[in-house]
């Protein structure tokens, strides 16, 4: 009898272990909840152990996953030692509980970073919390789920969540001593599916970029001056996501090769122009941009567009530095299958030709030391090696320095390089993409679109990518 009881008890223990270890779904609600609480308590206890025994001067708590934030980024870029907790806190009481444990530790915490869901906490509650910890600075970031997330909400859910965001935005602007960061109104971010690993969480690459913009640069910050604008912009963007979201063609059968200077090559991943094209259309993209290069060959350049195009078709990487984006792009193209693929080549050069004052043309139409001659050479090489492909010549984008152009004799204005692209496209019977006149970037608004008077920011790169997609046939 004792043996049977012992065997039954052992079997019961093994069953419990198996349920916890394998995550087998239990149909009874009271059986599911303890399992969930058990896991949450394990994570919480792990966090509390770290809080008690590790050395740090800042903490990152969140109501949404912050797995893709790197603790090392805070050390490398902000100069703080952060303890990033693993537990996703379900409510405001969880934040209070963690802060009590932090207060009881021997660490002098100067900054608390909070990831907050507006529907779960109010700014007024936060204000009361901050008054209890006057020596701590609080920096707060709101979640920025994808367009797909917002689309899947019911009308009632969407209305309630949008109202929570709007209320939070309005209230947050009234607390100048606390830093609130908000990105959900950014069309270029939420509408590119490759920025996300799921409907709610961004990729590690994008999170790193957003970390630099927010906690390092104080960009996308809610203030009393912009709170109302952000609230209206949020309503417009998110309503448009649900009601008027643009549709993009399926280009999964396309190979799209991008050649260009830093405007193409200095940006990688889903936030680059090629990356956005890939994310919106499914095209295979190859970023062969090379920062610092010009289309034409000058005394200060070792390689120019004609040499790059020739090396591409000859699969010759000998003149391409290994740790560059162009090298990675060439290698990716060489190693990828291209059977039954349509091919499009996008050429985006001109801004460095302009800065260096390279001539637009000479008596020799194929003179590669001139802007027009270099493009003619490159297009001829493409047509010879890939006669059925589409070629798109892009004009340079607007540059903030163009507002101070000199009228001295011999000075070539940026607009002259732009106009040369239109002339060349007609002459060579290729397509043209107008990134200068039609983009809407000009002397009065360029700070909204350019990072440093020259390079396009994420918003502008998203716009350029959309125009590239419209140009592909």
Kindly report the three-state secondary structure assignment for every residue of the chain.
CHHHHHHHHHHHHHHHHHHHHHCCCCCCHHHHHHHHHHHHHHHHHHHHHHHHHCCCCEEEEECCCCCCCCHHHHHHHHCCCEEEEEEECCCHHHHHHHHHHHHHCCCCCCEEEEECCCCCCCHHHHHHHHHHCCCCEEEEECCCCCHHHHHHCCHHHHHHHHHHHHHHHHHHCCCCCCEEECCCCCHHHHCCHHHECCCCCECHHHHHHHHHHHHHCCCCECCCCCHHHHHHHHHHHHHHHHHCCCCCCCCCCEEEEEEECHHHHCCCHHHCHHHHHHHHHCCEEEEEECCCCCCCCCCCCCCCHHHHHHHHHHCCCCCCCCCCHHHHHHHHHHHCCCCCCEEEEEEECCHHHHHHCCCCCCCCCCCCCCHHHHHHHHHHHHHHHCCCCEEEEECCCCCHHHHHCCCCCCCCCHHHHHHHHHHHHHHHCCEEECCCCCCCCCCCCHHHCECCCCCECHHHHHHHHHHHHHHCC
How many angstroms separate the CA atoms of 191 and 59, rounded? Answer: 31
* pLDDT tens per residue across all 473 residues of the chain: 333 334 444 444 444 444 444 443 333 333 334 445 656 688 888 999 999 999 999 999 999 999 999 999 999 999 999 999 999 999 999 999 999 999 999 899 999 999 999 999 998 899 999 999 999 999 999 999 999 999 999 999 999 999 999 999 999 988 888 999 999 999 999 999 999 999 999 999 999 999 999 999 999 999 999 999 999 999 999 999 999 988 999 999 999 999 999 999 999 999 999 999 999 999 999 999 999 999 999 988 888 999 999 999 999 998 888 989 999 999 999 999 999 999 999 999 999 999 999 999 999 999 999 999 999 999 999 999 999 999 999 999 999 887 766 666 567 889 999 999 999 999 999 999 999 999 999 989 999 999 989 999 999 999 999 999 999 98
330 token code pair: 């060439």
Beta bridge partners of 393: 347, 432
User: Looking at residue 40, what is its pLDDT?
Assistant: 64
Extract the tokens encoding 172: 């947050």
Q: What is the pLDDT of residue 38?
A: 58
What count of other Cβ atoms lies within 10 Å of the Cβ of residue 97?
Answer: 15
| Separation of alpha carbons 47 and 95, rounded Å | 12
Q: How long a stretch of residues is the chain?
A: 473
How far is the CA of 199 from the CAs of 90, 129, 148, 190, 298, in angstroms?
A: 19, 31, 6, 10, 48
What is the rounded distance in angstroms from the CA atom of residue 328 to the CA atom of residue 302?
A: 19
pLDDT of residue 411: 75
Is the separation of the CB atoms in 112 and 61 below 8 Å? yes
Specify the pLDDT at position 10.
46
> Can you tell me which residue has the tokens 């963007």?
237
CB contact set of 85 (below 8 Å; sequence gap of 6+):
47, 50, 59, 60, 61, 62, 98
Q: What's the token pair of residue 434?
A: 């107008």
Contact by Cβ (8 Å): 195, 271? yes
Q: Are 265 and 322 in contact (CB under 8 A)?
A: no
What residues contact 166, with CB distance under 8 A and at least 6 apart?
231, 234, 235
């Amino acid at each position: 009898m004792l043996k049977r009881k012992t065997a039954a008890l052992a079997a019961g223990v093994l069953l419990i272990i198996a349920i916890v270890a394998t995550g087998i779904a239990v149909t009874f609600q009271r059986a599911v909840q303890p399992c969930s609480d058990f896991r949450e308590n394990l994570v919480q206890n792990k966090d509390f152990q770290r809080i008690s025994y590790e050395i740090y001067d800042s903490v990152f708590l969140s109501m949404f996953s912050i797995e893709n934030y790197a603790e090392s980024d805070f050390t490398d870029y902000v100069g703080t030692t952060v303890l990033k907790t693993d537990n996703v806190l379900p409510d405001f009481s969880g934040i209070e509980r963690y802060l009590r444990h932090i207060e009881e530790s021997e660490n002098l915490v100067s900054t608390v970073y909070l990831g907050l869901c507006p529907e779960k906490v109010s700014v007024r509650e936060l204000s009361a919390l901050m008054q209890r910890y006057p020596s701590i600075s609080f920096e707060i970031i709101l979640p920025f789920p994808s367009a797909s997330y917002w689309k899947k909400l019911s009308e009632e859910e969407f209305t309630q969540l949008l109202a929570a965001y709007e209320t939070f935005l309005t209230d947050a602007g009234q607390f100048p001593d606390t830093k609130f960061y908000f990105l959900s109104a950014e069309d270029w971010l939420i509408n590119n599916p490759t920025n996300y690993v799921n409907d709610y969480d961004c990729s590690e690459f994008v999170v790193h970029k957003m970390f630099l913009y927010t906690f390092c640069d104080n960009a996308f910050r809610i203030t009393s001056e912009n709170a109302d604008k952000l609230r209206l912009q949020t309503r417009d963007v998110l309503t448009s996501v649900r009601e008027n979201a643009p549709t993009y063609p399926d280009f999964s059968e396309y190979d799209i090769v991008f050649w260009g200077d830093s405007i193409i090559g200095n940006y990688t991943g889903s936030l680059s122009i090629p990356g956005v094209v890939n994310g919106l259309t499914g095209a295979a993209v190859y970023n062969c941009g090379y920062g610092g290069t010009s289309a034409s060959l000058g005394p200060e350049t070792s390689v120019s567009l004609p040499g790059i195009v020739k090396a591409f078709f000859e699969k010759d990487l000998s003149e391409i530095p290994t740790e560059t984006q162009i090298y990675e792009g060439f290698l990716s193209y060489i190693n990828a299958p291209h059977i039954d693929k349509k091919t499009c080549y996008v050429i985006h050069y001109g801004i460095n030709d302009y800065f260096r004052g390279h001539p637009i043309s000479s008596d020799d139409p194929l003179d590669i030391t001139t802007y027009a001659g270099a493009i003619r050479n490159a297009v001829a090489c493409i047509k010879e090696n890939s006669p059925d492909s589409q070629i798109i010549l892009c004009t340079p984008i607007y540059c903030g320095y163009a507002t101070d152009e000199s009228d001295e004799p011999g000075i070539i204005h940026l607009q002259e390089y732009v106009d040369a692209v239109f002339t060349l496209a007609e002459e060579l019977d290729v397509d043209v993409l107008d990134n200068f006149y039609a983009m809407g970037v000009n002397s009065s608004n360029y700070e909204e679109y350019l990072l440093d008077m020259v390079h396009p920011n994420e918003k502008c790169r998203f716009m350029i990518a959309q125009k590239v997609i419209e140009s592909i046939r």
